Amino acid sequence: MKELRNKQLLIFTLVMLLAGWGVWWMMNSVFHVESFMGYPFIPVLFYLSGLVLVYVLFRVDKTNPRKLVNVYMLLKLIKMLVFGTTALIYLFAFKVNTKTFIVVFAFYYMLYLLFETYTFYSVEKQIKKQKA
């Protein structure tokens, strides 16, 4: 399980670094949209959320299926609350271009959803492999 955790952390770190620099470059060079203040906060927020996801999933007791499902659902709820609250605070507290912010935030959210799905799938696959 430790190998899987390290592999997921490495993949997620590389993807977030590439996405962070890539989106910033595309906003400034390709679309000529001025990057908004605090842009680095978005990839950092999603990266920290990914770290929490991985560490919680690999620390939870996987022998109790009910507890595992509860942890999955709790992680999903917390994710929605944190990301939704952050987006609303960011939109109302800072005067940013709303369209640009929503597109960038949605991109990172979709990227995070892909990673989250991959993580859940990998953990479940590992659990079934260990039981067999």
| Side chain identity at residue 99, one-letter code | K
pLDDT band, very low/low/confident/very high, at 82 (cuts 50, 70, 90): very high
Q: Is residue 6 part of a domain?
A: yes
Give dist(CA 124, CA 121) in Å, integer: 5
Mean pLDDT of 55-66: 87
Instruction: Please state whether 34 falls in left (phi above 0), alpha (psi between -120 and 50) or beta.
Output: beta
Q: Is residue 132 part of a domain?
A: no
Q: Look at residue 132 and tell me whether its pLDDT is greater than 80.
A: no
Q: Is residue 67 part of a domain?
A: yes
Q: Which of 6-10, 76-80, 94-98, 100-104 has the lowest mean pLDDT?
A: 94-98
Q: Is residue 34 part of a domain?
A: no
Q: Look at residue 97 and tell me whether its pLDDT is greater than 90.
A: no
pLDDT at residue number 46: 95
Number of domains comprising the chain: 1
- Residue 73: which domain range? 2-28+39-127
pLDDT at residue number 70: 92
pLDDT at residue number 27: 83
Q: Is residue 103 part of a domain?
A: yes
Q: Is residue 90 part of a domain?
A: yes
Q: Is residue 33 part of a domain?
A: no
Give dist(CA 92, CA 102) in Å, integer: 13
pLDDT band, very low/low/confident/very high, at 96 (cuts 50, 70, 90): confident
Mean pLDDT of 111-117: 94
Q: Is residue 23 part of a domain?
A: yes
Mean pLDDT of 102-130: 92
pLDDT band, very low/low/confident/very high, at 131 (cuts 50, 70, 90): confident
Q: Do 90 and 28 form a contact (C-beta atoms < 8 A)?
A: no
Beta-carbon count within 10 A of 2 CB: 7
pLDDT at residue number 28: 82
